[in-house]
């Protein structure tokens, strides 16, 4: 971050990468518009509104109308980015997402801001640890949970280019930029193997990818060789990557989401039909007690420590 703190990496708010990239895309494609529910500030879209007031539609606090309006804008040839806190966007307007966006196969980009436990102490009404589970049931809808600012920018570009509905899960936590080769490129439906390994596969998405890599470092110190897969694309799912993970015989999944029905559920569905192996699914168990995001991550084992422990458990259960 600075010369005085050489060991702590710079942290980035992925919303900045989202907003900056959307600006670039909107600059070259005038079909891009934004639809918000009084969520300009929390979506960091103040700059967009200033540049393109006519392309900014603030429906007020009305999520059902917001998503329907998004579908209508797509009918009218626009590419709407419908951006709101994920808890309200995906829960309040779920039927609109199902019928007006997914079933209609409308070219709408849903942007779930501050998902997971991003709102920490505000409690379960404001947490969005169910969004990937209920959206994963909807055909046609791509679901992307980027891991860092680079991938967020790539995902915004990919969403704009993709003809069809997309859900982007944009975190508000500070995350470091992950090390990647220069030729890295995000692709909808493709997993990214960040670290090769042979003893256990750690499959993560979103903010948990950094911690998965840290866990792999710790495991390596103890002689365990862990593969780390970034499964940013929850739908469509890279089933080949999941089968390759199952071939290692032990899997840990980790997500800032409920343990039920999200990334872990998706991985388990594929593994069960291929080569069953122990899968430790790390996530949140239910409605969260009061606490900061950091507190909740630590309390429920969503830490490099917790992932390391789960990996060892999965290995010990390996069916050989």
Partner 1 sequence: MELQSLESRDANREATIRRIRSSARAIRMHALNMVFEARQGHPGGDMSVTDILATLYFGVLRVDPKAPHESGRDRLILSKGHASGALYSTLAEAGFIPIEALSTYMKPLSMLNGHPNRNNVAGVEANTGPLGHGLPIAVGIALAGKIDNADYRVFVITGDGELQEGSNWEAAMASGHHKLANLTLIVDRNTLQQGARVSETNDVEPLADKFRAFRWDVVDVDGHDPGALLDAFAPSADRTKPLCVIAHTIKGKGVSYMEDQVGWHHGVPTQAQLDKAMGELSGS
- Quote the distance between the C-alpha of residue 286 and its chain's center: 19
Give the per-residue contact string, 11-50, with partner 1 (x = CB under 8 A; - = no).
----------------------x-----------------
State which residue, 101 or 144, has the beta carbon closest to partner 1: 101
Which tokens is 161 given?
Answer: 């280019």
Tell me which stretch binds partner 1 (CB under 8 A): 73-81, 180-188, 205-213, 273-281.
73-81
State which residue, 70 or 293, has the beta carbon closest to partner 1: 70
State which residue, 27 or 247, has the beta carbon closest to partner 1: 27
Closest CB 67 distance from partner 1, rounded Å? 8
How far apart, in whole angstroms, are the C-alpha atoms of residue 320 and residue 145?
A: 33
- Quote the distance between the C-alpha of residue 4 and its chain's center: 32
**Is residue 193 within the footprint of partner 1 (CB under 8 A)?**
no
Considering only 19, 74, 143, 224, the residue that binds partner 1 (CB under 8 A) is 74
Output the CA angle 273-279-285, nearest 5 degrees: 115
- Quote the distance between the C-alpha of residue 306 and its chain's center: 20
**Using an 8 Å Cβ cutoff, are 255 and 205 in contact?**
yes
Which tokens is 254 given?
Answer: 């980790």
How far apart, in whole angstroms, are the C-alpha atoms of residue 169 and residue 207?
A: 10
Tell me which stretch binds partner 1 (CB under 8 A): 2-10, 66-74, 257-265, 293-301.
66-74
Q: Which of residues 93-112 bind partner 1 (CB under 8 A)?
A: 95-96, 99-100, 103-105
Considering only 78, 169, 257, 312, the residue that binds partner 1 (CB under 8 A) is 78
Which tokens is 291 given?
Answer: 């606490």
State which residue, 80 or 283, has the beta carbon closest to partner 1: 80
Considering only 12, 20, 64, 243, the residue that binds partner 1 (CB under 8 A) is 64
Closest CB 210 distance from partner 1, rounded Å? 38
Total of residues contacting partner 1 (CB under 8 A): 29
Handedness of CA 309, 312, 314, 317 (dihedral sign): negative
For every residue of 162-183, DSSP letters joined together read SSS-EEEEE--SEEPPPP--TT
CB atoms within 10 A of CB 1: 11
Query: By the criterion CB under 8 A, which residues form the site for partner 1?
Result: 33, 54-55, 57, 59-60, 62, 64-65, 67-78, 80, 95-96, 99-100, 103-105
């Amino acid at each position: 971050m600075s010369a005085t703190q050489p060991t702590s990496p710079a942290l980035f708010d992925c919303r900045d990468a989202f907003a900056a990239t959307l600006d670039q895309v909107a600059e070259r494609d005038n079909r891009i518009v934004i639809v918000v529910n009084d969520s300009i500030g929390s979506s960091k879209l103040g700059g967009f509104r200033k540049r393109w007031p006519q392309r900014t539609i603030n429906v007020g606090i009305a999520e059902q109308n917001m998503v329907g309006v998004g579908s209508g804008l797509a009918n009218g040839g626009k590419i709407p980015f419908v951006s709101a806190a994920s808890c309200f966007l995906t829960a309040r307007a779920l039927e609109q997402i199902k019928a007006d966006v997914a079933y209609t196969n409308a070219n709408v980009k849903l942007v779930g801001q501050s998902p997971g436990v991003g709102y920490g102490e505000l409690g379960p009404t404001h947490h969005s640890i169910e969004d990937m589970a209920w959206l994963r049931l909807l055909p046609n809808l791509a679901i992307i949970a980027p891991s860092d600012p680079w991938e967020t920018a790539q995902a915004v570009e990919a969403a704009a280019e993709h003809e069809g509905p997309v859900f982007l899960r944009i975190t508000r936590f500070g995350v470091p930029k992950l090390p990647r080769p220069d030729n890295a490129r995000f692709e909808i439906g493709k997993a990214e193997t960040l670290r090769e390994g042979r003893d256990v596969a750690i499959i993560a998405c979103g903010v948990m990818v950094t911690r998965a890599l840290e866990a792999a470092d710790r495991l390596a110190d103890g002689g365990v060789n862990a593969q780390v897969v970034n499964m940013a694309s929850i739908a469509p799912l890279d089933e080949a990557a999941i089968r390759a993970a199952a071939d290692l015989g032990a899997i840990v999944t980790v997500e800032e989401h409920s343990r039920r029905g999200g990334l872990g559920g998706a991985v388990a569905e594929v593994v069960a039909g291929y080569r069953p192996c122990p899968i430790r699914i790390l996530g949140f168990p239910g409605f969260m007690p009061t606490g900061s995001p950091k507190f909740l991550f630590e309390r429920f084992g969503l830490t490099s420590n917790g992932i390391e422990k789960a990996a060892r458990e999965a290995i010990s259960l390996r069916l050989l």
